[in-house]
Amino acid sequence: MDTEGRPVRCAVIGAGMAGILAAIQLAGAGITDVTLFEKSDGVGGTWRENTYPGLACDVPSHLYAYSFALTPEWSHRYAPGPEIRAYLEDVARRHGVLDRIRFGDAVTECIFADGRWHLGTEAGHRDEADVVLAATGVLHHPRAPDIAGLDSFGGSLFHSARWDHDVPLDGARVGIVGTGSTAVQIVSSIVGRVRRLSLFQRTAQWIMPQENPAYTDVERDALRDDPERLAATHQELSDLFDLFANAVVDPDSPEIAWVEKACLENLEKNVHDPELREKLRPDYRAACKRLVISPDFYSAIQNPRADLVTEAIDRVVPDGVRTVDGTVHPLDVLVLATGFQVDSFMRPMRIVGSDGADLARAWDPRPTAYLSVSVPDFPNFFMLNGPNGPIGNFSLIEVAELQCRYIIQLIDRIRRGECRTLCATRVALAHFERERELAARNTVWATGCRSWYLDDRGIPAGWPWSFVRFRDAMRAPDPAAFVCR
């Protein structure tokens, strides 16, 4: 039961990083009637789903952590994926979140009727809530590439986010389609184990070199003994990444120039064969796509077992991949590191708001949300890391923390009895979207490359302003931007 005001029951969809966070922040605000619905049997979201070799977070671990659960225990500057998953499990356990999760209960519909949300799950359960928080993630639905003949492949084929650990890699001929952050981590991790690695590159990437040293016991002890130093480490990294996030929206910023120079130096210095170097040289601005961070990709791709294939893929054949020059690259395993359908969000869940408003229609042709958290006609339905929010080379945890605090301020208005329901006005969304789109056209993401940052029109879909501006926007809701009923 709530400790203050009108009781509010919350349903949180998803027990990944953002869902766990929501449960903890809601409890901290005195909102304890909270149920989390999690489709799988574990917490961790993307860190549970992705298990590919080399999985790590390329945001420093002391930044990629909840501000209220900093830990001195990270093994490396950029911790491996299983360690991050264990961290999320540990935080969920210590904060009593696990007891509130209904595992294996995928929400399939949320219907708003009689002032409440009515939830239905795949397992046939029904529930009701005053408020729904969708914490379903962005990089969630694997994207299968439009390559002919995938079904005809005679070896093992899987998406990077559905890694099949029963398939042996040692001594195998492995093909990887894609050169994003995922593919680069896989290549570096497995090149020493396989017989032959063929990396099918459609677009070269700018690679930012970042070493990943292990923390020593002495370093960990120092942080264990000094919580202030731990907090300061988090803050310093946050300030540094703010700088990057602020700069990345301006293609002419000195920071972008610095990033371009560092990536170019990495290429020139560390790729020795001039022909390979030219194949790996991107023809667009650094940071136009999400910057790939790797200390060892260039050395991995120069391993004699590795083959960078830049001829376009014609089709997959039973024996491997045929490129347009007619060459068949024989493979035992084919990994699709081809990214995610980033505009799906909660869909295909059926979400029906007031007066029969259907989210599928509201989001046709593309998803939008006021300040990334609220959609008109969907009262008391809020999102963490929803459409149009900040995305990039920084911690999505801080984004979700700020959004959650903002949403709790809205819920507090319900608890105080000011309104029973709240959602953004159409005018507020239209104004936000108009301004956002204008600004998005001037970001580095719009300087001429293909990436998952772009919407169906080729316009960046994310937050196009500085992170400082995002923080300001999340400080307090503007009452005029919400319909309060």
Interface with ligand NAP by CB under 6 A: which residues?
56-59, 139, 145-147, 160, 177-183, 185, 200, 202-203, 290, 313, 337-339, 450, 452
Q: Do residues 406 and 386 make contact, with C-beta atoms less than 8 angstroms apart? A: no
CA nearest 429: which of 485, 401, 388?
Answer: 388
Q: Do residues 284 and 447 make contact, with C-beta atoms less than 8 angstroms apart? A: yes
Q: What is the spatial distance between Cα 246 and Cα 20, in angstroms, rounded to a whole number?
A: 28
The minimum distance between CB 54 and ligand NAP, in angstroms, equals 9
Q: 92 vs 177, which CB is nearer to ligand NAP?
A: 177
The minimum distance between CB 254 and ligand NAP, in angstroms, equals 24
Q: Where are the beta strands (DSSP E) in 280-406?
A: 292-293, 306-309, 313-317, 320-323, 328-330, 333-336, 350-352, 381-383
Q: 411 vs 449, which CB is nearer to ligand NAP?
A: 449
Other beta carbons within 10 Å of 47:
22
CA nearest 287: which of 316, 319, 318, 249?
Answer: 249
The minimum distance between CB 428 and ligand NAP, in angstroms, equals 28
Q: 281 vs 426, which CB is nearer to ligand NAP?
A: 281
Q: Which residues contact 8 (CB under 8 A, 6 or more apart)?
A: 2, 31, 33, 130, 131, 411, 414, 415
Q: 107 vs 286, which CB is nearer to ligand NAP?
A: 286
CA-derived radius of gyration, the chain? 23
Q: 146 vs 239, which CB is nearer to ligand NAP?
A: 146
Q: 52 vs 381, which CB is nearer to ligand NAP?
A: 52
The minimum distance between CB 60 and ligand NAP, in angstroms, equals 10
Q: What is the spatial distance between Cα 162 and Cα 52, in angstroms, rounded to a whole number?
A: 8
Question: What tokens appear for 446 in the block?
Answer: 């719009």
The minimum distance between CB 19 and ligand NAP, in angstroms, equals 18
CA angle at residue 52 from 47 to 53, to 5 degrees? Answer: 120
Residue whose entry in the numeric block shows the structure tokens 């500085």: 466
Q: What is the spatial distance between Cα 274 and Cα 313, in angstroms, rounded to a whole number?
A: 23
Q: 229 vs 450, which CB is nearer to ligand NAP?
A: 450
The dihedrals phi and psi of 210, each to the nearest 5 degrees, come to -140, 120
The minimum distance between CB 237 and ligand NAP, in angstroms, equals 14
The minimum distance between CB 155 and ligand NAP, in angstroms, equals 18
Q: 25 vs 185, which CB is nearer to ligand NAP?
A: 185
The minimum distance between CB 397 and ligand NAP, in angstroms, equals 12
